[in-house]
Amino acid sequence: MPLLIAIDGPAASGKGTLARRLALHYGLPHLDTGLLYRAVALQMLDAGIDLGDRAEAGRVASNLVADQLADPRLRERAMGEAASRVSGIPEVRAALLSWQRRFAAGEAGAVLDGRDIGTVICPDARVKLFVTASPEERARRRHSELAGRGEETTLAAILADIRARDERDSSRSAAPLRAAEDAVRIDTTELDADEAFAVARDVVERAREH
């Protein structure tokens, strides 16, 4: 039986790191679905299209190709904000739904992380994790990450961004951020990457036994 692992959670909660480690450990392909929305936003900005243009956003999302996910600009802080804006557009989510489900349908399984994997994209996933952490800890992590890449910003500005994104992601009408009813919650506020991985691996192993 394929091993499909769905990981959801807010920005900088550690879900991406956890997803990559689980994928490597189990030999599964990994998709950071947030890159899809960042790629849509980047394509729109490069073309001078307003991020609020629903029709154009849907068109760009429909024409997205895998090669566009490799652009290093997708990791910039500004793209996270832009992605949060376009991710609330129903036309974008509808266009990317089949993209993500095709990726998840691999013979061996897959690991996908995002905001609505366990609730919308892969509701039948064998393993569902909801990874979270306090806004303050997430801001500290993101500040450290950006500083390591040479991006200048303040901890206060990042915390404000994270709180705004949390509100936007949780209150949108299209696939809001929330934990699936059968998801296992992992709070990483007091956990390092190794500890979080150990907790998640135990969850996966229990699921594989049944």
13 is in an annotated binding site: yes
109 is in an annotated binding site: no
98 is in an annotated binding site: no
What gap in Å lies between CA 119 and CA 165, rounded to an integer? 19
Contact in structure between 51 and 44 (CB atoms under 8 Å)? yes
14 is in an annotated binding site: yes
10 is in an annotated binding site: yes
Question: Nearest Cα to 75, choosing from 149, 152, 154, 167?
Answer: 149
Residue with structure tokens 């991406």? 16
Contact in structure between 178 and 170 (CB atoms under 8 Å)? yes
17 is in an annotated binding site: yes
What gap in Å lies between CA 28 and CA 1, rounded to an integer? 13
114 is in an annotated binding site: no
Helices (H), the chain: 15-26, 34-46, 54-62, 77-86, 90-104, 135-148, 155-171, 193-208
119 is in an annotated binding site: no
Instruction: Could you list the residues known to form a binding site, using ranges.
Output: 9-17
Instruction: Could you list the residues known to form a binding site for ATP, using ranges.
Output: 9-17
